[in-house]
Amino acid sequence: MTTHTPRDEQDASTIISEAASKGTLLSLAGQGTKATMGRPNQTDASISSSALSGITLYEPAELVISARSGTPVSEVVRTLAAKGQELPFEPMDYRPLLGARGEPTIGAVAAMNISGPRRIMAGAARDSLIGVRFVNGRGEAVKSGGRVMKNVTGLDLVKLMAGSWGTLGFLTEVTFKVLPKAERMATLVIRGLKDSKAIDALSQALGSPFDVTGAAHIPARDRQGASTLIRLEGFSVSVDYRLNELRRLLKRFGPSDILEGKGAQALWQSVRDATILTEQNDRAVWRVSTAPTKGPDFTARVAQSLDAQWFYDWGGGLLWISTPLEGDAGASALREATREFGGHATLVRAPAEIRSAVDVFEPQADALMTLTRGIKTSFDPNGILNPGRMYAGV
């Protein structure tokens, strides 16, 4: 299979125009670290952003960075760190979960709207994404947004590109709003709480004036007891003050420890990357977004019919659930739960046969599906860009 590696936007435009005229179906990729996610699809060739690399603009005082889409995330993170800044949304690294190698690219972070624990406080990748350049399925180079953080000029196609998994266009350059890295991070840990009690504690913390930047709950597993994590970041004096206040506020949930330094960082990384679930590689992994207080009911419902394991991020609103790799890998139980409690579930890890057989993304109501198909056609009339990666026929 041919892999195209355009050197610039013009190149990408030529490749895609030609594919459009011949009806050549294209897979879109960076370095392919997330190739095993989404619906498996049949394509004739692929187009990779691997030769589109490099930071094109970085103005620390303006809190903005632009990079060509194939730039490794690690390079962006390093460049920002050198000036004491970071990507506010703390993008997850899917490699450990998927057992993938290679360098994740910044284009994929945009295209898949990849966020982490700080999403509850600082927004998702799509909230920090302020500009994109892409080539649509007609081969036209299109821009939307720009490099300024307040911009309401015209329809916000930036948001449509975020989370469209390469089905609407091939990103060539992305621009993100960034933030200063906090001087200090500290985590309050409460042990031994049952799920519903833990989510109650997290809701209290998130409903406090103390700007919690991470709120996760890891239920008891193996020989380890449950731990409920509440993260604070900021200037050191402020972190001290807020830790004290939070402890006082959450007193009724029992004693708490404070975790700082490398151990705490590693813990949040395992929450971010969902590696808490990866100890058993022979299980499917689902990612569910629902209202925080519905999280415990959701998991309890799923556990009625499945041998499920799980943990909570986003104050209870993000569920990572692992299920046995049997039958539909739990799809019908998960879908039933999303219908009952609201939200949506995505099958993140499963063999291709299962991802072909079940809906990987939450099925949508007919009227929304009609809009989805219409939008796909408006960007990619011949249906050549990552066809079927999200939904059949899209």
Partner 1 sequence: MTIAFPKPDEAVLARRREIVEGLGRLVAPEALIISEDERRAFETDGLTAYRQMPLAVVLPSSTQEVSAILRFCNERGVKVVPRGAGTSLCGGAIPQEDAIVLGVAKMNRILDLNFENRTAKVQSGITNLGISQAVSHEGFFYAPDPSSQLACTIAGNIAMNSGGAHCLKYGVTTNNLLGVTMVLLDGTVVEIGGDHLDSAGYDLLGLICGSEGQLGVVTEATVRILRAAEGARPALLGFEKVEDAGACVAAIIGAGIIPVALEYMDKPAIQICEAFAHAGYPLDVEAMLIIEVEGSDQEIDDMLRRIVAIAEPFKPKTMKVSQSEAESAAIWKGRKSAFGATGRVADYICMDGTIPTGQLPHVLNRIDEIVKSYGLGVANVFHAGDGNLHPLVMFNTNVPGEMEKAEKAGEDILRLCVEVGGCLTGEHGVGIEKRDLMTYQFNAADLEQQMRVRGVFDPRWLLNPAKVFPLEGRLAA
Q: Site residues for partner 1, window 117-146 (CB under 8 A)?
A: 119-120, 123-124, 126-127, 136, 140-144, 146
Answer for which of 26, 52, 64, 190 binds partner 1 (CB under 8 A) is 64
CB closer to partner 1 out of 19 and 122: 122
Answer for which of 7, 101, 153, 252 binds partner 1 (CB under 8 A) is 153
Which helix or strand (DSSP H or E) is residue 241 part of? Answer: helix 236-249
- How far is the C-alpha of 316 from the C-alpha of 216, rounded, in Å? 7
CB closer to partner 1 out of 23 and 207: 207
Shortest Å, Cβ 335 to partner 1 = 12
Answer for which of 17, 41, 79, 151 binds partner 1 (CB under 8 A) is 151
Shortest Å, Cβ 192 to partner 1 = 21
Query: Of residues 89-118, which lie at the interface with partner 1 (CB under 8 A)?
Result: 113, 115
Closest CA to 290 of 321, 265, 261: 321
Q: In the numeric block, which tokens belong to residue 282?
A: 């022979």
Query: Of residues 306-325, which lie at the interface with partner 1 (CB under 8 A)?
Result: 314, 317-318
How many positions of this chain bind partner 1 (CB under 8 A)? 82
End-to-end CA distance of the chain: 22
Shortest Å, Cβ 210 to partner 1 = 8
Q: In the numeric block, which tokens belong to residue 122?
A: 């600082």
- How far is the C-alpha of 192 from the C-alpha of 169, rounded, in Å? 47
What sign has the CA pseudo-torsion 88, 158, 387, 323? positive
Alpha-carbon distances of 112 from 34, 45, 115, rounded to whole Å = 10, 21, 9
Contacting range for partner 1; rule: CB under 8 A; set: 30-38, 42-50, 234-242, 329-337 = 234-242
Does 340 interact with partner 1 (rule: CB under 8 A)? Answer: no
Query: Of residues 354-393, which lie at the interface with partner 1 (CB under 8 A)?
Result: 361-362, 364-365, 367-368, 371-372, 374-375, 377-379, 390-391
Shortest Å, Cβ 346 to partner 1 = 8
Residues 6+ apart with CB under 8 A from 242: 210, 211, 232, 234
Query: Of residues 154-213, which lie at the interface with partner 1 (CB under 8 A)?
Result: 154-160, 162-164, 168, 179-183, 200, 203, 206-209
Shortest Å, Cβ 52 to partner 1 = 19
Shortest Å, Cβ 15 to partner 1 = 17
Shortest Å, Cβ 209 to partner 1 = 5
DSSP code of 221? Answer: B
CB closer to partner 1 out of 50 and 69: 69
Binding mask 38-57 for partner 1 (x = CB under 8 A): --------------------
Answer yes or no: are the C-beta atoms of 72 and 53 closer than 8 Å.
Answer: yes
Which helix or strand (DSSP H or E) is residue 57 part of? Answer: strand 55-59
Which residues, listed in sequence order, are joined to residue 51 by a DSSP beta bridge?
none
Which residues, listed in sequence order, are joined to residue 187 by a DSSP beta bridge?
231, 259
Answer for which of 38, 343, 383, 387 binds partner 1 (CB under 8 A) is 343
Answer for which of 95, 184, 247, 344 binds partner 1 (CB under 8 A) is 344
- Write the DSSP assignment of 274-325 as a string of letters: TGGGTT-TTEEEEEEE--GGGHHHHHHHHHHHS--EEEEEGGGTEEEEEEES
SS3 250: coil
Return the number of other C-beta atoms located less than 10 Å from residue 296's C-beta.
Answer: 22
Shortest Å, Cβ 348 to partner 1 = 14
